[in-house]
Amino acid sequence: MHEPLALVEILSPTNLSKTRVNMRASRTITGVQEIVVVHSMASVAKILRRGADGIRPQRPEVIDAGGELRLDSIGFVAPLRDVYRTSGLT
């Protein structure tokens, strides 16, 4: 795929610095509308969603275990707990 719409990174304690580097680089990809970081040690996801003006917010939207993971760019919606259902974290 030449122009992804959404990117998902799995954050673990061993790849924290690499994930941060990847997120900074991903912010520069023109077609990417949403960048999601899913934590591996807690039921938390963070989303940087490009606004209608094309600008990304400085701070991500934080979704906790009771929230809903919504990726508008690909028409995906699910309770965040479903993402973690086999992880033992819910």
**How many residues belong to the chain?**
90
Taking the C-alpha atoms of residue 84 and residue 48, their distance in angstroms, rounded to an integer, is 20
Q: In the numeric block, which tokens belong to residue 45? A: 């996801």
Q: How many domains are there within the chain?
A: 1
pLDDT given for residue 63 in this prediction: 96
Is residue 89 included in any domain, yes or no? no
Per-residue pLDDT reduced to its tens digit, 67-76: 999 999 999 9
Instruction: Identify any residues that bridge with 7 across adjacent strands, giving them in sequence order.
Output: 35
Which residues span the domain enclosing 23? 6-83
Q: What is the CATH number of the domain that holds 61?
A: 3.90.1570.10
- 28 by DSSP, 3-state: which? coil
Look at residue 55 and tell me if it is in a domain: yes
pTM assigned to the model: 0.80
88: in domain:
no
DSSP 81: H
SS3 letters across 41-63: CCCCEEEEECCCCCCCCCCCEEE
